[in-house]
Homo-oligomer: A and B are copies of this chain.
Amino acid sequence: VNIGLLGLGLIGGSLGYDLVARDHYVWGTSRRLETCRQAVAQGAACVAHPDWQAIPGSDRAEVVVLCGPMDTVLPTLQAIAPQLSPDTVVTDVASVKGVICEAAAGLHPRFVGGHPMAGNSGQGLAAAVPDLFRDRPWVLTPLAETDRAAVSLLRELWGSLGARVREMTPTDHDRAVARISHGPVFVSASALVPPTAEAIALASSGFFDTTRVGGGNPQLGRSMAQYNREAVLATLQENAARLQWAIAAIEQERWDDLEAWLQEAAHRRQTYFPT
């Protein structure tokens, strides 16, 4: 398959490694020429150049993956759409789908929204690794009118990398990630109270884990709230109500109620993560 990767960061680079290893014709673009050179040298692309139209065969791409940050997906698609063949399947990897999928469908007939639930704590091509997507969920969010052949091609392609591909509506996807990914960023950040000498001395693994996603990339957190605003707000209001409930129970010394609430939380966690 002739595949173009627009963006050679953590996701684009990792995709490149896996796709090159499976003998696809993988071309890539990055604004920085040096990143393009590195990607080719490291085997994350067969060929790469800042100007995608200068790359041999890019006009016959069967799949183009928009791998930039979520706020670049629609502008990038708008910029490249006039030059794309209407047969080319275009997909993205952003963690919000509602605001992207409807608009993207109007820009290109064969767009299919996508979201691989994979990553690591790094950023950029340096953080890219082979097999990042193996055994991880990869959501596709076709609309009712989306071409099923385009969906099948992506199911096969991402499935061949070991990803567990599943389909959801953009709305169901966005609500789910608000609950288990976007919302928790802000809950986690709310645990990051000002450091005191004693608190720093005693901070250990529990605090490390609780605050991990809240101490992550601020631009990414902002985009999650900005582009998934309604679902994130709904989740955070639920989180805030839960926290207020616990505060009231402690204030009123309703210890049995508090313990039952924690028991219910432990039970829910086991539903999310059966061991």
Contact = CB atoms under 8 A, between A and B. Distances in A.
Interface of A: 117, 136-137, 139, 166, 168, 172-173, 175-177, 179-181, 183-196, 198-204, 206-219, 221-222, 225-226, 229, 232-233, 235-240, 242-244, 246-247, 250-251, 253, 255, 258-263, 265-266, 268-273
16 contacts: A166-B201, A172-B198, A176-B198, A176-B201, A180-B199, A183-B191, A187-B191, A188-B210, A190-B243, A192-B268, A193-B239, A208-B272, A211-B265, A215-B265, A218-B263, A239-B243
A216 B71 CA distance: 37
A180 B204 contact: yes
Given A212-B210, A261-B189, A266 B218 contact: yes
Given A137-B201, A172-B198, 7 more contacts: A190-B242, A200-B271, A203-B273, A208-B272, A215-B268, A226-B253, A236-B243
A219 B259 contact: yes
Contacts of A262: 185, 189, 214, 218, 221-222
B218 A186 contact: no
Contacts of A253: 226, 229
A180 B166 contact: no
Contact of A139 (B172, B202, B207): B202
A100 to B, nearest CB: 17
Contacts of A180: 199, 202-204, 206-207
Contact of A272 (B203, B216, B232): B203
Most B CB within 10 A of own CB, among A185, A192, A232, A244: A192
A186 B236 contact: no
Contacts of A246: 186, 189-190, 236
A266 B191 contact: no
A226 B255 contact: yes
A204 B136 contact: yes
B189 A187 contact: no
Contacts of A204: 117, 136-137, 180-181
Nearest to A177: B202
Contacts of A271: 195, 200
